[in-house]
Amino acid sequence: MFRRLIPLFCLFVAAVSAMADKVVLGQLGQTLQAAPILQRPATTAKVYYRAQQYEYIIVTPAKQPGWFMVPLQNGVYGFIAAEHVAQLPYDAVVEQKELDAIKRTGGSAVSRGGAGANVAAYSLQYVGTPYKWGGNDLQNGIDCSGFVKQLFGKIGVNLPRTAAEQALVGQAITRLEDLQPGDRLYFWEEKRKKIGHTGIYLGNGYFSHSSSGKKGVTTDFLDTPKWRNILVAARR
């Protein structure tokens, strides 16, 4: 799904900062508008990648004021002007042993510490995966409940298969202001008169989900009538 020089959302495996047995990969950010990720912190530098508006990236402060460094999938850093980025209120964290496994195998891992935030960040790896009714493949085709089930399975949480069943599992969150990254959201489907859609809260009002209407894994803003009016449950 990713090409060589695109931003790596939550599994960058070089030049990271460690705390005890955990490694901070960076802070999640979101572009406020379409903006280039550059080879150097200069507007005249070579463009590595053109980020779209509201795209999620991992950022760390650059030495040069007004710039963030962005880890890219091929192991180098790019630079983006800070004015183009909103920093979201959580870090992407992975356990050192899992980071070592990624280095050895090139595979994926999600930290069990701070699991909710990590699931939220990790979900963004799959933006663009096609929607498929009944699908379970995070790369080639998946539906909304399969998306949530597969991601939580990465941290050892075995959820039921359907959105309606998942909505009965875990701690209930009853106020929007109490939502945290990684909380599961459940939406009413009027046609079937039951919970029929689910997604993962990202923070700052956004959530990720596999959408049949948008033809795949995407992000949306929860605090709009379309979504807020049919949100009927949230679980942690």
Name the residues annotated as catalytic.
144, 197, 209
Q: How many CB atoms lie within 10 A of CB 185?
A: 24
Tokens of 100: 């070592």
Q: 152: which residues sit within 8 A by CB, 6+ positions away? A: 119, 158, 159, 184
Q: Please state whether beta strands 22-31 and 85-95 pair in parallel, antiparallel, or not at all (unpaired).
A: antiparallel
Q: From residue 219, give the alpha-carbon distance in Å to each of 14, 66, 169, 189.
A: 27, 27, 23, 19
Q: How many CA atoms are closer than 13 Å to the CA of 138, on its beta-carbon side?
A: 14
Residues 162, 160: Cα–Cα separation, whole Å: 6
Per the document, the length of the chain is 236
Q: 108 with 118: CB under 8 angstroms? A: no
Q: 59: which residues sit within 8 A by CB, 6+ positions away? A: 26, 27, 28, 29, 68, 69, 70, 80, 85, 87
